Copies of this chain bind each other. A is one copy, B any other.
Amino acid sequence: MPMNLRDLRYLQALAEEQHFGRAARICNVSQPTLSVQIKKMEVDLGVELVERSGRTVILTDVGQNILALAKDALASIDHIYSTAETARDPYSGQLQLGSIPTISPYLIPQAIRQSKAMFPRLKLGFLEDITERLNEALLQGTLDVAILATEPEDPRLEVINLYREPFSVILPKEHPLNETEDLDVEDLTLNELILLPEGHCFRDQAVDLCQFAQPSALHEVNVSSMETIISLVAAGQGISLIPSMALGGRWNAGDDVCVRTLNHPNAYRQINLTFRKSTPKRQLLDSLADVILDSLPEEMCAV
């Protein structure tokens, strides 16, 4: 009586529910069935997987370790089914797409609309989060692809380049810098600059670009969207760097903010699709890249 994938699912459910009856219901089997199978695993492996002492069912240390491996195995199995589905029709199945907050509002709506038109059989899921957590989700398999502005560090990940997005400086209407001809990085002073909080890759890139002596002395503003920052600038609270697409159409709008370009060769970020090298959806992702590039505004230059 060797171990079985079903048993691993039972173990996973039991760990989540901490309750034999509920776990069994989730697995659509009776409680004795689940109890017997767990017991069988314990005999087979020669270790105790769950502590039945007291009211709550808890996994033992070994149980925890084995559960982690069980999840790996089950993830591989899920990938097998997903691979098969993708092979039957590369443009069908599930695709979980992630994106960072400084990209999603300006790119995702159109991209999703276009994708639905181009890939009608595809079930598209979406998740917004910061780069670090999106990378984790990619590696874990929760996500199939993410739109990011940084190169992946993990060797299991790969990219398709999409486009370069220039950085723009935004200033209040009445700001003295509006008089200067060419706007330089040195003109952006540390105590005027409003940036997104830690964790956002755009903040790191802006700080990198400006090469502040004491970046830790930056005025902290706890905002979570570029839109809020634009409002703050419009209200005369400071100046900011923003990715060009966050401007929407406001290139020289009659708003309360002025938009200026920055005189620096590295004042841009490279946007790309990041995904697992081992993904079976490579063909779909190539097409997705095309679709995204098609939905770009004129100002962005594909690279």
Contacts and interface: CB of A to CB of B under 8 A. Distances in A.
Interface of A: 2-6, 45-47, 61-62, 65-66, 68-70, 72-73, 76-77, 79-81, 83-85, 87-88, 153-155, 278, 280
Nearest to A154: B155
Given A46-B88, A154-B155, A76 B83 contact: no
Contacts of A73: 72-73, 76-77, 80
Contact of A66 (B45, B62, B83, B88): B83
- Most chain B CB within a 10 A radius of its CB, from A3, A46, A65: A65
B45 A81 contact: yes
13 contacts: A2-B6, A3-B77, A3-B81, A46-B85, A47-B84, A62-B84, A66-B83, A66-B84, A69-B76, A69-B77, A70-B80, A72-B76, A154-B155
Contacts of A280: 65
A33 B69 CA distance: 29
A293 B88 CA distance: 56
Contacts of A5: 2-5
A55 to B, nearest CB: 25
Among A62, A87, A88, A280, chain B packs the most CB atoms within 10 A around the CB of A87
A154 B157 CA distance: 12
Contacts of A65: 83, 87, 280
A69 B83 contact: yes
A5 B74 CA distance: 11
Contacts of A88: 46-47
Contacts of A154: 154-155
A66 B3 CA distance: 21
Nearest to A73: B76
A76 B72 CA distance: 7
A88 B65 CA distance: 13
Closest 5 CB pairs of A and B: A73-B76, A45-B84, A62-B87, A72-B76, A73-B73
B4 A4 contact: yes
A153 B153 CA distance: 10
A88 B66 CA distance: 13
Nearest to A5: B5
Q: Which of A5, A46, A80 has the most CB of B within 10 A?
A: A80
A68 B83 CA distance: 11
A80 B4 contact: no
Given A46-B88, A62-B87, 12 more contacts: A2-B6, A3-B81, A5-B5, A45-B81, A47-B88, A62-B83, A66-B84, A68-B278, A72-B72, A72-B76, A73-B76, A153-B155
A151 to B, nearest CB: 15
Nearest to A9: B2
Contacts of A84: 45-47, 62, 66
